[in-house]
Amino acid sequence: MISKPLSGPAAIAALPRDRMIAEFSLWSADLANFESDLRRIEPYVDLHHVDVADGHFAPSFLFFPDRVARIARLTAKPIHVHLMVDADIVEAQTRQFIEAGADMISVHAENGEAGLRAVRLARELGAEAGVVLRLETPVQTVAPFVPEVAFVTLLGTAIGVKGQGLSDEACDRLGAARAILRKAGREDAVVLAADGGIRHETVPRLRAAGAETVVLGSLAFGDKDLAGRIGWLHGLKVAA
C-alpha cells in the first residue's frame, strides 16, 4: 500500500494553479493491465479521474467502490470521482465512494437539491466536492453550487459516451462559467475543468478559453511519449 502525503480537501487544495492540472481518466486505462498502467502514469498524473455511471443518468455502467478502494492502495495521487448517477442515489454513492478512498466527489448540477446535499455530505465526511454540468444544461445551473465546491467541470460532449467530437459551444460555456465564478468571488478558489472531446487540437482551445484542467483519456494513455505529452500540456496558456 502506498501512503498518501495529503488527502481530501488538502490534496485538492495542493493541486497546481500555475499550469494545467494533469487529470487522467481511468476509463481509458487498460483494465486487463490496470496496475501496470497506474505505475506508468504515476510520475505524471496530478489527479486521477474515475467515472461512475448507473446506466440511467448516463448510458453506461462504470466503476464501483471496490475499484476505487483498489486504486487508493496503489497511488499517492488524489482521486476524483465523477458521479453520473440519478438524484435518488447520489447521496448514498457519495458516502460509498468516500469510504472507498475518494478525495473529491463531483456531482451533477442536474441532481438539484439532492446534489447540494451530496456536496455537503462529502465535506462532512472529510472529502472535497465538485459540480459537473451536462452539455445541454444552461451554465447558470451551476450557480447554487459555486459557494460550496472546489471544482466546476463542464462536459463538452454528450454524457457517458467515448469518442465524440468537442461541441462548438464548449469554449463559450467555459467563459460563461468563469464569469459566474468571478461574480461570486470564487474565481481563484475554484478549478474550472473541461471533460469530453479532449483531443490534441481541442485542448489548446479549451485552455485558451480558461480550462485549468482537461480530463485526459486516450490522448494520454495512447501516447508512447507520455513525458512529452504532459510537458506540452503544462506549456499551454490561457488567452490574454
80 close to 102: Cβ distance less than 8 angstroms: yes
Neighbours of 89 (CB within 10 A): 17
25 close to 52: Cβ distance less than 8 angstroms: no
Q: Cβ contacts of residue 190 below 8 Å, gap of 6+? A: 146, 149, 150, 151, 152, 181
DSSP letters along 159-216, please?
A: TT-TTPPPPTTHHHHHHHHHHHHHHTT-TTTSEEEEES---TTTHHHHHHTT-SEEEE
The CA distance from 189 to 149, in Å, is 9
C-alpha dihedral (47, 55, 134, 157), degrees to nearest 10: 80
The CA distance from 97 to 89, in Å, is 12
Joined grid coordinates for residue 135: 452539455
User: What one-character DSSP code corresponds to residue 138?
Assistant: -
pLDDT band at 240 (very low <50, low <70, confident <90, very high): low
- Strands (E) in 38-97, as ranges, are 47-54, 61-62, 79-84
Residue-wise pLDDT for 9-56, tens only, equals: 999 999 999 999 999 999 999 989 999 999 999 999 999 999 999 999
> Minimal CA–CA distance to 40: which of 28, 52, 57?
28
Residue-wise pLDDT for 139-195, tens only, equals: 999 999 999 999 999 999 999 777 789 999 999 999 999 999 999 999 999 999 999
- Average pLDDT score over the chain: 96
pTM of this structure: 0.96
Q: Cβ contacts of residue 166 below 8 Å, gap of 6+? A: 156, 157, 196, 197, 198, 199, 202, 205, 206
